[in-house]
Amino acid sequence: MSTTDVPFMVKLNGPADSELELSDLSPAASSHMVPAIYSSLGATAEKPRRHPLFHPNIAQQRKQYFTFYYAYATLLILLMWILLPIYWASLAYTDRHTQRLTVLVTDLDQSLIGEGILAAVQRAQDQAADVTTLGWQIVNSTASDNSVVASAIDAVVDEQIWAAVVVHSNATSSVLSSFASGTSGPPAGAAVDVYYNEARNEFAANFYIVPILTAVLTPALAGANANVSAQFVSANAGNRTALANFVAASSASDTRAVATAAYNNLRPFSAPVVSALTEVGMILIVIFSFILTMANSALRPIVARHLTLPWYVVLRVCAPLLAYVPLSLSFAVVSLPFHVPFDGKYTEAQGFFLFWILCYMLMCGFGLATEFAIGVLTIKFAPFFLLTLIISNVSVTEFPLELLPGVFRYGRGFPFYNASQAFRTITFNAKSHLGVNVAVLICWVLISLLTVSASTWIIEGRNRRRGIEEEAHH
């Protein structure tokens, strides 16, 4: 009989029939009987004595606690110095790269107003080393106004350029005509049209594109208006009627004879609630996924020892994938009462369904990545991986990659960047990159599936072999 077959005999002080052989009992009965028997015998487990924190009797335990605790804190400090500079750098140097934001300038006027605008743009180009400016590109064109405007709009919407400035043909002559006709004539209208796309990136548009355009064009138009006025007065010095009309047209209360610029936002970022999806919302998806990963780690041992290794791998992969379905759907549904414009490009139902699928893919990619981390790094160090995952992703979502240092080009292959682009397409009808966006998210899901499966097979297989060897050795 092996040692595992020896019956456990318990004899109580009393009649002969108080002798029990626990091997005759079921495992469940044995597990309940042993505590009861020891309780009836008055046997109790020895309890550790309680001491003040700095008592010499617990010096070893105290030293071990503080050593490991502050070693962990030191690791956090190191991680802080590694990760926080990444995020800080994504925000700190954006104004150094604004020349990567291309702006096309087309002068169809070929006269005083057009010349004034071009001169201002050229000064901005010359001062680029000292002043924050844009990537100005002057384009000569002989096409009609309508053709140039249509091309400019297409280029901005198609995200070939960040903005376009069109000085309309006859801009100068329209102002001169307004001077000649006085208050009875038609207004000169906008001499310059500016086109930009706020939904492409609201931070770039509101921090740099619109303010810099305004800073360049406003004084340029003021100077151009002054030049046109001087030319009109000089040409009509002896014409009292013309001068009277000029005074009336250029009075402070009438702006019909002033050349102005019209700013046309082709894709407005019109729903601030979308920021919850493109920024914090994705961080929350990662956190929710990690919470589920921790729950899975705590509950999995209940069934793990009863499964074969292949089925244990299936459990590690399929249980989360199934749980992410209602979890991602719940995340998507929460957005509905807050009027997220899911009908920006598609119908509302189609947009919502696509948004849910993207959330599910995000959860699969991140959730399984944390499953891999908790299996390889254990629960002690998996949060380090979580922080790395979040910061490396969030660093490429706020400002466009054009404004970030070159190292941040990695963002094109990361989930947050691609999901943010996809959300903007759904909600604001920004240019669709859905083919690339979905492909990147699927790649992350497949990589996570592969790493979780392989690491589980290797680590769990090794642990099980060690367990068998230890049992045979004893």
For 270-317, write each residue's pLDDT tens digit. 999 999 999 899 999 999 999 999 999 999 999 998 999 999 999 999
pLDDT of 258: 77
Higher pLDDT, 321 or 18: 321
Mean pLDDT lowest among 29-38, 41-50, 319-328, 390-399? 29-38
Residues sharing a CB contact under 8 Å with residue 403, sequence separation 6 or more, in sequence order:
94, 97, 98, 100, 101, 204, 208
Alpha carbons 30 and 349: distance in angstroms, whole number:
59
**d(C-alpha 282, C-alpha 289), whole Å:** 11
For 299-332, give one letter per residue: b (16+ CB within 10 A) or e: ebeeeeeeeeeeebbebbbebbeebbeebbeebb
> pLDDT-based confidence at 17, cuts 50/70/90?
very low
Instruction: Specify the pLDDT at position 3.
Output: 43
The share of the chain scoring above pLDDT 90, in percent, equals 70
Q: Residue 21: pLDDT above 50?
A: no
Strands 163-167 and 135-139: unpaired
Could you report the per-residue pLDDT of 408-455, keeping only the tens digit for each?
999 999 999 999 999 999 999 999 999 999 999 999 999 999 999 999
- Identify the pLDDT of residue 142: 83
Residue 450 CB neighbour total at 10 angstroms:
13
Using one digit for the tens of pLDDT, what is the confidence trace for 363-387? 999 999 999 999 999 999 999 999 9
For the CA atoms of 202, 205, 210, 213, the dihedral, rounded to the nearest 10 degrees, stands at 180
Q: What's the average model confidence in pLDDT over 129-136? A: 93
User: Residue 102 pairs with which residues in a beta bridge?
Assistant: 135
**Which range has highest mean pLDDT (168-172, 257-261, 353-357)?**
353-357
**With contact defined as beta carbons under 8 Å apart, do 400 and 98 qualify?**
no
Q: How confident is the model at residue 257 (pLDDT cuts 50, 70, 90)?
A: low
- What's residue 215's pLDDT? 96
Q: Which of left, alpha, beta for 166 (phi over 0: left; psi -120 to 50: alpha)?
A: beta
Rounded to an integer, the average pLDDT of 319-327 is: 97
pLDDT of residue 240: 78
CA angle 387, 389, 391 (to 5 degrees): 65
The tens digit of pLDDT for each residue in 180-213 reads 776 555 555 688 999 999 999 999 999 999 999 9
Strand partners, 139: 106
Band (pLDDT 50/70/90 cuts) for residue 19 is very low
Q: What local confidence, expressed as pLDDT, does residue 45 receive?
A: 53
Average pLDDT over residues 131-145: 91
Residue of 323, 409, 408 lying closest to 360 (CA atoms) = 323
pLDDT given at position 186: 52
Question: 201 is written with which tokens?
Answer: 């990136």
Per DSSP, the three-state class of 308 is: coil
Mean pLDDT of 259-263: 90
What backbone phi and psi angles, to 5 degrees, belong to 137?
-135, 115
d(CA 262, CA 253): 20
pLDDT confidence of residue 183? 59
38 or 261, which is more confident? 261
Higher local confidence (pLDDT), 446 or 172: 446
Rounded to the nearest integer, the mean pLDDT of the chain is 87
Residue type at 178?
Answer: S
How would you write 172-237 as a 3-class SS string?
A: HHHHHHHHHHHHHCCCCCEEEEEEECHHHCHHHHHHHHHHHHHHHHHHHHHHHHHHHHHHHHHHCC
Three-state DSSP state, 313: helix
Gyration radius from the chain CA atoms: 36
Percent of the chain at pLDDT above 70?
85
CA distance 415 to 358: 10
Could you tell me the two tokens for 446?
A: 């497949």
User: What pLDDT shows up at residue 22?
Assistant: 43
- pLDDT for position 89: 95
Residue 174 is predicted with a pLDDT of 84
Helix (H) or strand (E) holding 385: helix 378-394
- Residue 9 above 60 pLDDT? no
Closest to 361 measured CA to CA, from 392, 329, 337, 390: 329
Q: Residue 144 corresponds to which tokens in the numbers above? A: 């009609």
In this prediction, residue 29 has a pLDDT band, given cuts at 50, 70 and 90, of: very low
pLDDT at residue number 49: 85
Residue of 87, 102, 109, 101 whose CA lies nearest to 138: 102
Dmax of the chain from CA atoms? 139
